[in-house]
Structure 1
Amino acid sequence: MKNTLLRVNDAIYLTCIWVAGLAIAVMALIIPWGIFARYVLGNGAGWPEPVSILLMVLFTFVGAAASYRAGAHMAVTTFTDRLPVAWQPALGVLVQLLMALICLFMTIWGTKLCIATWNQFMSTLPTLRVGISYAPIPLGGFLTLIFILEKLAFGDQSHRRAVNYELLEDSKEAV
């Protein structure tokens, strides 16, 4: 069961990385096009800026979930590092529970925000619903919550693949 859940979370993690990476890559193509259209063609398109902003929001929330699982998300440990070592495991669990509360808040209230603004349309992109533009908030909160629960249940997974790869290399050398 544990291995199945870890494989599912691996797939979610890789999907987060691909979605965030594609969002930033497409954004990197759209912004120069908007500049080119405005200053070279003399016909500024209205869609590049709002689409780029939406992609940045997607990149931010989905990328944050991936970076959390990778152990690369920002963490300020100045206070906890100075506390007694015996307290640190309990504080680690407390931090995870507080993070879970924040993610639960993002998921619930972000979903309510999407529902509340579903019938509104963006002025700069009249075919796009405002609720869709807010969708990365509950999505990112939910994905991060999955990774927090994984960390609480199975421990930190940020180094698991590297360890497995090293064991694989060691077993090849032994043969």
Structure 2
Amino acid sequence: MSQRYSDLMDKVYLLAMIVAGLSLLVMTIIIPIGIFSRYVLNRGESWPEPVAIICMVTFTFIGAAVSYRAGSHIAVNMLTDRLPQAIQRLCARTVDLLMLLISLVMFYYSFYLCADLWEQPVAEFPILTSGQTYLPLPVGAILLILFVVERLLFGSQENRPIVLLGNHG
């Protein structure tokens, strides 16, 4: 069971990494287009800013889940590194449980935020509603929940081959 779950999480991780990477790529392409349009063509387009913001939100929340599974998130472990091994494990378990709680709260509130704003159009980008633009929040929360549960049940996954992809040092 643990191997099947971890294999499924590998696929979810890879998909999330691709989505986060593509959103970062699109954001870095869109911003110069908006700047060029405004300052060179003297014609400020309305769509680059909301698209860039959507990409940034997507990259942030999906990318946060990816970095959590990879163990590359921001962590201050100056104190815990000096503790006995048993206390270190207890601290790590406590952090994971708190992360699960935070992810559940984030999912709850972001789900209702999306639901409440689902019909409200975005003035600068009318093909999307405000609720749709906030979808990366509950999706990122679900990914975090899945990755935290995996870590709680099966330990750290930062040494899996898919997670080490691209690490050369």
TM-score (norm 2): 0.90
- 1:82 and 1:109 mapped to 2: Cα distance? 37
Q: Distance in 2 between the 1:77 and 1:66 partners?
A: 20
Matched, 1:50 2:59: no
SS in structure 2 of the partner of residue 28 of structure 1: helix
Mapping of 1:70-85 within 5 angstroms?
A: 70-85=70-85
Match of 1:155 in 2: 155
Match of 2:112 in 1: 112
Partner of 2:24: 24
Aligned length: 164
| 2:8 match: secondary structure | helix
Give the aligned partner of residue 124 of structure 2. 124
The Cα shift of 1:26 comes to 0.8
In the TM superposition, what is the alpha-carbon distance from 1:133 to its structure 2 partner?
1.3
Task: Identify the residue that residue 39 of structure 1 maps to in structure 2.
Answer: 39
Which residue is equivalent to 1:11?
11
Q: Where do 5+ consecutive residues of structure 1 fail to align?
A: 166-175
| % identity of equivalent residues | 47
**Rounded Cα–Cα distance in structure 1 between residues aligned with 2:109 and 2:141:** 10
Which runs of no fewer than 5 residues in structure 2 stay unpaired?
Answer: none
Whole-angstrom CA distance in 2 between matches of 1:86 and 1:36? 57
One-letter amino acid of the structure 2 residue matched with residue 147 of structure 1: F
Deviation of residue 99 (structure 1)? 0.3
Match of 2:139 in 1: 139
Give the deviation of 1:60 after TM superposition: 0.3
What is the deviation of 1:160? Answer: 2.3
| Bigger share in helix | 1
Q: How far apart are residue 82 of structure 1 and its match? A: 4.0
SS of the residue corresponding to residue 161 of structure 1 reads: coil
The verdict on how the C-alpha distance between 1:3 and 1:85 changes in structure 2, with shifts beyond 3 A counting, is closer
TM-score (norm 1): 0.88
C-alpha distance in structure 1 between counterparts of 2:88 and 2:41, whole Å: 60
Question: Cα deviations across residues 108-128 of structure 1 (Å, max 9, x unaligned)?
Answer: 111011001112111222231
**Map of 1:168 onto structure 2:** none
Write the distance in 2 (CA, Å) between the matches of 1:81 and 1:44.
52
CA deviation string 1:136-158 (max 9, x = no partner):
11111110110010011111111
CA distance in 1, matches of 2:87, 2:65: 27
What one-letter code is carried by the residue in structure 1 that aligns with 2:149? L
- Letter of the aligned partner of 2:16 in structure 1? C
**RMSD between aligned residues:** 1.8
